[in-house]
């Protein structure tokens, strides 16, 4: 799957004998895998309780790291799409527009290198604002190319217009 497209639910289960079962299920395809880990030395109840307590204590940090990772993946995907569009239709932009988009792309790259999810999201929003006019120009060009050589009568017939 493409980066960021997989949605995986991971479940850890420790039974009374100290057998650890780890299950991973990809939520869109329903594909599931399991592995059982049985320690040769065994875990005491106190050790299992400490492991569970530690997992609960770290849950908030783990979730924050996951949200940051997802934001970075989305930001990089957006930046890649903009760079690809620039490779095809950069001629539609004025020098000022191109500089604004390049600056927004740089802010996205810098934010992705950091650890602040809000900064990543803000940089992506700025990129969207900077590229709005570019997207409109690309759509206009695409429509013009699609309609090139089509007569008004033929277009009217295709759209079901009345005479």
Looking at residue 103, what is its pLDDT? 97
pLDDT in tens, 65-106: 999 999 999 999 999 999 999 999 999 999 999 999 999 999
Looking at residue 19, what is its pLDDT? 80
Residues forming a β-bridge with 2: none
CATH number for 64-153: choose from 1.20.1270.10, 1.10.287.70, 1.10.3720.10, 3.40.50.720. 1.20.1270.10
Looking at residue 92, what is its pLDDT? 94
pLDDT in tens, 114-143: 999 999 999 999 999 999 999 999 999 988
Q: What is the mean pLDDT of residues 12-22?
A: 82
Architecture of the domain spanning 8-57: Sandwich (2.60)
Domain ranges of the chain: 8-57, 64-153
Looking at residue 109, what is its pLDDT? 97
């Amino acid at each position: 799957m493409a980066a960021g497209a997989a949605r995986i639910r991971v479940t850890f289960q420790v039974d009374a004998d100290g057998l650890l079962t780890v299950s991973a299920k990809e939520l869109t395809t329903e594909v599931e895998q399991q592995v059982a880990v049985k320690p040769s030395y065994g875990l005491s109840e106190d050790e299992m309780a400490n492991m569970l307590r530690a997992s609960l204590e770290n849950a908030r940090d783990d979730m924050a790291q996951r949200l940051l990772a997802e934001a970075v993946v989305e930001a990089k995907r957006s930046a890649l799409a903009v760079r690809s569009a620039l490779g095809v239709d950069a001629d539609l932009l004025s020098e000022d527009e191109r500089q604004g988009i390049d600056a927004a792309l740089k802010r996205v790259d810098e934010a992705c290198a950091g650890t602040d999810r809000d900064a990543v999201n803000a940089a992506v929003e700025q990129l969207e604002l900077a590229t709005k006019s570019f997207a409109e120009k690309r759509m206009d060009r695409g429509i013009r190319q699609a309609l090139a050589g089509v007569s008004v009568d033929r277009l009217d017939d295709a759209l079901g217009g009345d005479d």
